[in-house]
Amino acid sequence: MKIVIVGCGRVGSTLAENLDVDGHEVIIFDIRTAAFDRLPETFKGAAVRGDGTDEEVLRRAGAEGADIFLALTEGDNRNIMAAQMATESFEVPQVVAKINDPVRAAAYAELGIVTLCRTNLMVDSVATYLKLPMQIGPGIDIPETPGREHPHPTAETIESPALPIGGALAGQGTTGAAGRRTVITNEAATARAQRLGFRRSRG
């Protein structure tokens, strides 16, 4: 499989190394050259210094035709932008965005993007180890409606001030998708509130 990873941090580099060993075609992006020092010398994939939210950068590096796209930078905004681009522009069948904020993770899942919430995963692990009942959201939130089938935002939708994404990066040199802002519809906002009221309990 062709697997694109945006973000060569500890998670991204570890996944890239293991997927490469398993024989997959791996392309990993990061804006810092030093980040690739985490990859072993035996890494056979492509390590690309570039902005994973830039559509042209992704195209030039061969991201088209990817089977899996993982957005794993430290920034929620960057990850959701990259995930949207992979879903909408490249039509990647499996896309995952790492989102640290549990509220955002739930909201974006309502918009059709699979989210990986490190905060929920860590709290869940601690709760399990300590055998304590805790109200925890899902570590991986899989939307009921796939991203490419989810209705696109329209002029009637409203932007959520609590979730400033997309355009927040426009002033940071991002091209390609820089002009695109993600908006939260009234329907999605309602669904988000409902989801936040539903937490699974560890007990």
Q: Which pLDDT tens digits describe the chain residue by residue (203 residues)? A: 999 999 999 999 999 999 999 999 999 999 999 999 999 999 999 999 999 999 999 999 999 999 999 999 999 999 999 999 999 999 999 999 999 999 999 999 988 899 999 899 999 999 999 999 888 888 889 887 655 444 443 333 333 334 433 333 333 333 333 333 333 344 444 444 444 443 443 44
Tell me the whole-structure pTM to 2 decimals: 0.71
Find out whether 66 and 92 touch, Cβ atoms under 8 Å: yes
pLDDT at 179: 35
The CATH number that applies at residue 95 is 3.40.50.720
pLDDT at 126: 92
**Tokens at 30, concatenated:** 């990061």
pLDDT at 51: 95
Under the phi-then-psi rule, with left for phi > 0, alpha for psi from -120 to 50, and beta for the rest, what region is 20? alpha
Say how far apart CA 26 and CA 18 lie, in whole Å: 10
Look at the chain and report how many structural domains it folds into. Answer: 1
Closest CA to 35 of 19, 47, 45: 47
Closest CA to 108 of 176, 182, 179: 182
pLDDT at 144: 77
CA torsion, points 136, 141, 145, 151, in degrees to nearest 10?
90
The pairing of beta strand 140-141 with beta strand 200-201: unpaired
Q: What range does the domain containing 49 cover?
A: 2-201
3-state SS of the chain is: CEEEEECCCHHHHHHHHHHHHCCCEEEEEECCHHHHHHCCCCCCCEEEECCCCCHHHHHHCCCCCCCEEEECCCCHHHHHHHHHHHHHCCCCCEEEEECCCHHHHHHHHHCCCEEECHHHHHHHHHHHHHCCCCEECCCEECCCCCHHHCCCCCCCCECCCCCCCCHHHHHHCCCCCCCCCCCECHHHHHHHHHHHCCCEECC
Placement of tokens 């993600």 in the chain: 182
Find out whether 25 and 1 touch, Cβ atoms under 8 Å: yes
